[in-house]
A and B are shown apart, each in its own frame.
Chain A
Amino acid sequence: MAALLIQNGRVIDPASGRDGVADVLLEDGRVAAVGAGLSRLGAEVFDASGLVVAPGFIDMHVHLREPGIEHAETIESGSRAAAAGGYTSICAMPNTIPVNDSATVTNYIVERARRSAVVNVFPIGAITKNSAGEELAAIGSMIAAGVVAISDDGKPVMNARVMRRAMEFARSFDLPVIDHCEDLHLSAGGDMHEGLESTRLGLRGIPASSEDVMVARDILLAQATGARFHVAHLSTRNAVAMVAYARRQGLPVSCEATPHHFALTDRDMAPYDSNYKMKPPLREGADTTAVIEGIVSGVIDAIATDHAPHPGSEKMQEFERCPFGIIGLETALGLALERLVHSGRIGLGRLVELFTTGPARILRLERGTLGVGAPGDVTIFGTDFEWTYDVNQSFSKSRNTPFHGAKFRGGPVATVVGGAVVWRREG
Chain B
Amino acid sequence: MPAGLLGIEELERQEIEAILARAKDFQPIQTQAQKKLDTLRGKMLVNLFFEASTRTRTSFEIAAKRLGADTVSITAAGSSVSKGESLVDTLNTLAAMRPDCIVMRHAASGAPHFLARHLAIPIINAGDGTHEHPTQALLDARTILDHRPGLEGLRVAIIGDIAHSRVARSNVHLLSKFGAQIVLCGPASLLPAELGCLAPGVHLTFDIREAIADADVIMMLRVQLERQHEAAFPAGEYFQFYGLRLEHLALAKPDAIVMHPGPINRGRELSSDVADFQRSVILNQVENGIAVRMAVLERVIG
Residues of A within 8 Å of B, CB-based: how many?
A: 22
- Indicate whether B128 reaches chain A with its CB closer than 8 angstroms: yes
Which residues does chain A contribute within 8 Å of B106, judged by CB atoms?
A: 318
* Chain B CB within 8 A of A319 CB: yes
CB-CB < 8 A to A271: which residues of B? Answer: 110, 113
B86 interfacial contact with A, CB 8 Å: yes
* Cα(A189)–Cα(B109), bound, Å: 13
How far, in whole Å, are A202 and B109 apart by their CA atoms in the complex? 6
**Inter-chain contact B194/A202, CB cutoff 8 Å:** no
Alpha-carbon distance between A316 and B166 when the two chains are bound, in angstroms: 23
* Cβ < 8 Å to B, chain A residues 286-342: 313, 316-321
A184-205 toward B: CB 8 Å interface, digit per residue (1/0)? Answer: 0000110000111011111110
Instruction: Tell me whether B88 and A201 are in contact (CB under 8 A).
Output: no
Check B192 against A316 for contact (C-beta < 8 Å): no
Closest to A203 in B: B109
CB distance from B43 to the nearest CB of A (A): 28
Instruction: Say yes or no: is A272 at the interface (Cβ < 8 Å to chain B).
Output: yes
Taking a contact as CB atoms closer than 8 A, the residue among A200, A201, A317 that contacts B86 in the complex is A317
- Residue in B closest to A188 when the chains form the complex, CB atoms: B229
Contact sample, A vs B, 10 pairs, CB 8 Å cutoff: A199-B192, A201-B109, A201-B110, A202-B109, A202-B110, A204-B130, A204-B229, A271-B110, A272-B111, A317-B114
- Footprint of A on B, CB under 8 Å? 9, 86-88, 106, 108-111, 113-114, 117-118, 128-132, 163, 166, 169, 192, 194-195, 197-198, 229
A224 to chain B, nearest CB (A): 31
Residues on A with C-beta less than 8 A from B87 are 317-318
Q: How far is the CA of A318 from the CA of B117 in the complex (A)?
A: 12
Quick check: B108 and A318 within 8 Å, CB to CB? yes
Cα(A272)–Cα(B123), bound, Å: 16
**B169 touching A202, Cβ below 8 Å:** yes
* Inter-chain contacts of B86 with A (CB < 8 A): 313, 316-317
Assembled-state Cα–Cα distance A202/B87 (Å): 19
Whether A320 contacts B108 by the Cβ 8 Å rule is yes
Rounded to whole angstroms, the CA-CA distance of A340 and B197 in the bound complex is 31
Main secondary structure of the interface of A (DSSP, over half): loop
Cross-chain contact of A196 among B9, B128, B194 (Cβ < 8 A): B194
Q: Taking A199-B192, A202-B130 as contacts, is the C-beta distance between A189 and B229 under 8 angstroms?
A: yes
The complex places the Cα of A188 from the Cα of B229 at a distance, in Å, of: 9
Q: Are B114 and A318 in contact (CB under 8 A)?
A: yes
- Assembled-state Cα–Cα distance A202/B6 (Å): 13
A320 to B107, CA, bound (A): 10
User: Bound state CA distance, A199 and B193, in angstroms?
Assistant: 9
User: Is A200 in contact with B198, judged by CB distance below 8 angstroms?
Assistant: yes
The interface of chain A, by Cβ under 8 A from chain B, is 188-189, 194-196, 198-204, 271-273, 313, 316-321
B197 is contacted by which of A196, A202, A203 (Cβ under 8 Å)?
A196
CB contacts (< 8 Å) of A316 on chain B: these are 86, 88, 118
Q: Which A residues touch B166, using CB under 8 A? A: 202
- Chain B residues with Cβ below 8 Å from A194 are 192
Given A201-B131, A271-B113, CB of A321 within 8 Å of CB of B108: yes
Is A199 a contact of B195 with CB atoms below 8 Å?
Answer: yes
Contact (A203, B88) CB under 8 Å given A188-B229, A195-B194 = no
Residues of chain A contacted by B129 (CB below 8 angstroms): 202-203, 320
Q: Which of B88, B128, B229 contacts A202 (CB 8 A)?
A: B128
Instruction: Tell me the complex Cα distance, A313–B87, Å.
Output: 11
Chain A residue at minimum C-beta to C-beta distance from B88: A316
Which residues does chain B contribute within 8 Å of A189, judged by CB atoms?
229
User: Given that A202-B128, A202-B131 are contacting pairs, would A319 and B110 also be in contact in the complex, using a CB cutoff of 8 Å?
Assistant: yes
Which of chain A's residues have a CB closer than 8 A to the CB of B163?
199
Which of B110, B130, B192 sits near A318, CB closer than 8 Å?
A: B110
Task: Report the bound CA distance from A12 to B113 in whole Å.
Answer: 47
Bound form: Cα–Cα A271–B86 in Å: 20
**Most chain A CB within a 10 A radius of its CB, from B108, B117, B118, B163:** B108
A-B contact sample (9 more), CB < 8 A, given A200-B9, A202-B169: A196-B194, A196-B197, A198-B194, A199-B192, A201-B110, A202-B109, A202-B128, A316-B118, A319-B111
Please name all residues of chain B whose beta carbon is closer than 8 Å to the beta carbon of A203 when the two chains form the complex.
Answer: 109-110, 129-131
Instruction: Give bound CA distance, A199 to B196, whole Å.
Output: 10
Check if B88 sits within 8 Å of A272, measured CB to CB. no
- On whether the beta carbons of B109 and A199 are closer than 8 Å, the reply is no
| B111→A318 contact, CB < 8 A | yes
In the assembled complex, how far is the CB of residue B183 from the closest CB belonging to chain A, in whole angstroms?
17
Question: Least Cβ distance of B24 to chain A in Å?
Answer: 30
> Which residue on chain B has the smallest CB distance to residue A322?
B114
